[in-house]
């Protein structure tokens, strides 16, 4: 099997690795498509957290071509989603693979996980139907978070410094799209929400400046859900901006700041939790299958998998800002049915 590994900061290799043996509950999957989760993959590519060769990526779709003797939920020919690193073949326990419904195309299937992040953030923010929700940052995570907010009935505001991304969000149904570089965002948000105030802000831009803006726009007793990950210490300007917003808003508004990750992966249903990563993905797939959600509208670029590193470098160098949803095709895609 051929596996993509980050072998050093800023360098990947397609490595020939031994294929795992097929266990009784395993299925072998020939990967046809990989979806890019740009922020997390670019950071792993840039930093090589493990300090040794490590897999990268986690949004794969492929076709089952072999199954173990005790597999009961999958059959040869099934298309599945697999939360594994970029590779041409996957051997995994059937419980860790999610079958794509007939109404879901392969490309949409690649992005079935990403909307679950926004759904989880809405639950953490105690969203109630009809509330006002703002999503700061309109990359692929922010776009899918806003998509899920609208899907669940929220009056949705999107905020980004890219007019192109704001226009795409408008086309997907955003009720209000604002650019902090040209709009008075707090004033426009206050006007839109009226006396009710803004109930939830989901921050996905991963910046101190955006978190400060979230504090300025949130309503009384509103919830700010930090879905983005701010890894860097603020510079003096950012620190002043953030702490000024903190002092102005946090206590006076009795605002709540919530850190967000996602529901646990629990393919064997061991925790007894109502919402798990697997159930959330299946829910997204069901909504796509019945036409209630459109993920294909977020796809802006398609590449063969051998261009993976060049795309990483373009995004890392700031030259790929027009990229949103990115799909990579593996050679097997030419022989698989969508």
| Residue 38 sits in the same domain as residue 50 | yes
pLDDT tens readout for residues 13-22:
999 999 999 9
pLDDT at 281: 97
**Do β-strands 132-136 and 200-203 pair in parallel, antiparallel, or remain unpaired?**
parallel
Per residue, what are the HEC states of 51-98? Answer: CCCEECCCCEEEEEEEECCCCCCCCCCCEEEECCCCECEEEEEHHHEE
pLDDT-derived band at 338, boundaries 50, 70, 90: very low
CATH number where 29 lies:
3.90.180.10
Is residue 273 one of the residues assigned to a domain? no
* Domain of 19, in residue numbers: 2-112+295-335
At residue 93, does pLDDT exceed 70? yes
Listed residue (50, 57, 172, 157) closest to 111, CA to CA: 57
Whether 275 is in a domain gets the answer: no
- 78 in the same domain as 168: no
Does residue 288 belong to any structural domain of this protein? no
Residues 30 and 89 in one domain: yes
Model pLDDT, residue 336: 57
Out of 259, 283, 313, pick the residue that ends a domain: 259
Domain-ending residue, one of 232, 259, 286: 259
| pLDDT the model gives residue 48 | 93
pLDDT for the residue 271: 87
Whether pLDDT at 189 is above 60: yes
* Confidence class for position 119, pLDDT limits 50, 70, 90: very high
Do 143 and 44 fall within a single domain?
no
- Kindly state whether residues 101 and 123 are assigned to the same domain: no
The answer on 118 and 107 residing in a single domain is: no
pLDDT of residue 5: 97
State pLDDT tens for residues 199-228: 999 999 999 999 999 999 999 999 999 999
Residue 27 and residue 155 in one domain: no
Percent of the chain with pLDDT over 70: 98
Same domain, 134 and 92: no
pLDDT of res. 337: 45
Residue 314 in any domain: the answer is yes
pLDDT value at residue 269: 85
* Domain shared by 77 and 57, yes or no: yes
Residue 335 binned pLDDT confidence (cut-offs 50, 70, 90): low
Q: Average model confidence (pLDDT) for the chain?
A: 95
How many Å apart are CA 79 and CA 82, to the nearest integer? 10
Residue 274, domain member (yes or no): no
Q: Same domain for 80 and 45?
A: yes
Is position 289 within any domain?
Answer: no
Nearby residues of 149 by Cβ (< 8 Å), 6 or more positions away: 118, 122, 127, 133, 135, 156, 202
**Which CATH number do you get for residue 149?**
3.40.50.720
Residue 161 falls within a domain, yes or no? yes
Give the β-pairing of 79-82 and 97-99.
antiparallel
Would 267 be classed as within a structural domain? no
Helix, strand, coil tally for the chain in percent (to 5): 35, 25, 40
Tell whether 63 and 90 lie within a shared domain.
yes
Q: Report the predicted TM-score, pTM, of the whole model to 2 decimal places.
A: 0.93
Considering its fold, how many domains does the chain have in total?
2
Asked which of 234, 259, 284 is the last residue of a domain, the reply is: 259
> Both 121 and 106 in a single domain?
no
Q: What angle separates helix 114-124 from helix 277-289, to the nearest 10 degrees?
A: 110
């Amino acid at each position: 099997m051929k596996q993509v590994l980050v072998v050093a900061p800023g360098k990947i290799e397609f490595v020939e690795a031994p294929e795992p043996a097929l266990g009784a509950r395993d299925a072998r999957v020939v990967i046809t498509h990989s979806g890019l989760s740009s922020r997390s993959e670019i950071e792993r590519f840039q930093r090589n957290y493990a300090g040794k060769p490590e897999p990268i990526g986690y949004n794969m779709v492929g076709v089952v071509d072999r199954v173990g003797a005790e597999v009961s939920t999958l059959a040869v020919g099934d298309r599945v989603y697999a939360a594994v690193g970029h590779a041409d073949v996957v051997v995994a326990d059937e419980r860790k693979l999610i079958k794509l419904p007939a109404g879901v195309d392969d490309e949409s299937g690649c992005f079935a996980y990403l909307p679950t992040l926004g759904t989880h953030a809405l639950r953490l923010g105690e969203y109630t139907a009809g509330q006002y929700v703002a999503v700061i940052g309109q990359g692929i995570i922010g776009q899918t978070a806003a998509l899920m907010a609208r899907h669940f009935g929220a009056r949705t505001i999107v905020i980004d410094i890219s007019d192109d991304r704001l226009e795409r969000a408008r086309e997907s149904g955003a009720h209000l799209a604002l650019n902090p570089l040209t709009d008075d965002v707090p004033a426009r948000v206050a006007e839109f929400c009226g006396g009710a105030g803004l109930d939830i802000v989901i921050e996905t831009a991963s910046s101190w400046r955006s978190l400060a803006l979230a504090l300025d726009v949130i309503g009384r007793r509103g919830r700010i859900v930090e879905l983005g990950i701010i890894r860097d210490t603020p510079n003096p300007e950012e620190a002043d901006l953030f702490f000024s917003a903190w002092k102005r808003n946090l206590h006076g508004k009795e605002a709540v700041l919530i850190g967000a990750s996602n529901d646990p992966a629990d393919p064997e249903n061991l925790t007894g939790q109502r919402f798990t990563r697997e159930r959330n993905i299946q829910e997204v797939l069901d909504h796509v299958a019945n036409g209630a959600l459109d993920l294909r509208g977020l796809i802006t670029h398609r590449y063969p998998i051998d261009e993976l590193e060049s795309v990483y470098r373009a995004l890392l160098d700031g030259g790929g800002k027009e990229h949103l949803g990115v799909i990579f095709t593996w050679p097997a895609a030419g022989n698989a049915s969508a």
